[in-house]
Amino acid sequence: MKTPPMTRDCIMPPANNQNRSDRNSDLMNKTGYVLVGVIVTAGLLVIHPAMYRWQWHIERKRSAGELPPDGATPAYGSEIAAPAPRIDWPWPYRLRHGLARLLTVAALLFFFMPYRNQTAIARFLSTHSAGRASAGSLAGLIFFYLPFCVMAVLIGALTWRQAKRRDAGLLSERESLLLEAETTWLFSFGAAVIIVIFLCHFAGGMITAFMV
């Protein structure tokens, strides 16, 4: 029986698995760069002003005594919120706000943008949890409660001195308004950052689970 001649296709594999893996990893990296980049930049630009406006709406209702005795606040977006008051921010506050935005965007991009970081997060949650439910609880602890505590400590540290002066009656009317505006800005910025963190984590989970 005549043996068929050996061809180049018989000797060489039809595709190089390593090259395919490299291409998939490169695709995941590019997808993560685009998706996380859009979520972080556009998310903060859209979510923070919306949260800032809503926080002012709640503060107005609280000042007018329109909130119930138990202090419950209406659900976000359930009422029409008037625009936030225009604040003439002094330059130290403008500098603080600019640095907060810059450092936050840089940190979020550094942490969530690379595909290898997303796979490391998924691997960590899988390793240190007993199942899907406990993985969700662990993710909530890391991506909600931990950032919330960090934000609360930072906001308290940044506003504590002026709050003490206000309570002692040492602030002028403009300084009191500025303190209220700064506190509202910081809390709404913190809320926006936490929402963006959740969106980045969700997007990374989608990439690692369905696009590999």
* pLDDT score recorded for residue 104: 95
pLDDT tens per residue, range 45-97? 999 999 999 999 998 888 888 888 777 888 888 888 889 999 999 999 999 99
Q: Provide the b/e sequence for 13-43 (b: ≥16 CB within 10 Å).
A: eeeeeeeeeeeeeeebbeebeebbeebbeeb
| Contact (CB, 8 A) for 100 and 151 | no
Question: What's the average model confidence in pLDDT over 109-127?
Answer: 88
pLDDT tens per residue, range 14-23? 445 555 555 5
* pLDDT score recorded for residue 169: 87
Is it the case that residue 44 has pLDDT exceeding 70? yes
Q: Residue 8: pLDDT band by 50, 70, 90 thresholds?
A: very low
Is it the case that residue 13 has pLDDT exceeding 60? no
Of 49, 72, 94, residue with least CA distance to 192: 49
The residue ranking higher by pLDDT, 91 or 206, is: 91
- Min mean pLDDT across 3-7, 118-122, 143-147, 167-171 is at 3-7
Structure tokens at 155: 């906001």
Q: What is the pTM of this model?
A: 0.82
Is it the case that residue 185 has pLDDT exceeding 80? yes
Q: Provide the b/e sequence for 174-209 (b: ≥16 CB within 10 Å).
A: eeeebbbbbbbbbbbbbbbbbbbbbbbbebbbebbe
Is it the case that residue 183 has pLDDT exceeding 70? yes
Integer Cα distance of 175 and 108 in angstroms: 33
Q: Residue 153: pLDDT band by 50, 70, 90 thresholds?
A: very high
| Contact (CB, 8 A) for 199 and 147 | no
Question: What's the average model confidence in pLDDT over 114-121?
Answer: 87
| Contact (CB, 8 A) for 195 and 43 | yes
Of 153, 158, 193, residue with least CA distance to 179: 158
The residue ranking higher by pLDDT, 41 or 3, is: 41
* pLDDT score recorded for residue 22: 54
Burial class from Cβ neighbours inside 10 Å (0-12, 13-18, 19+) for residue 52 reads buried
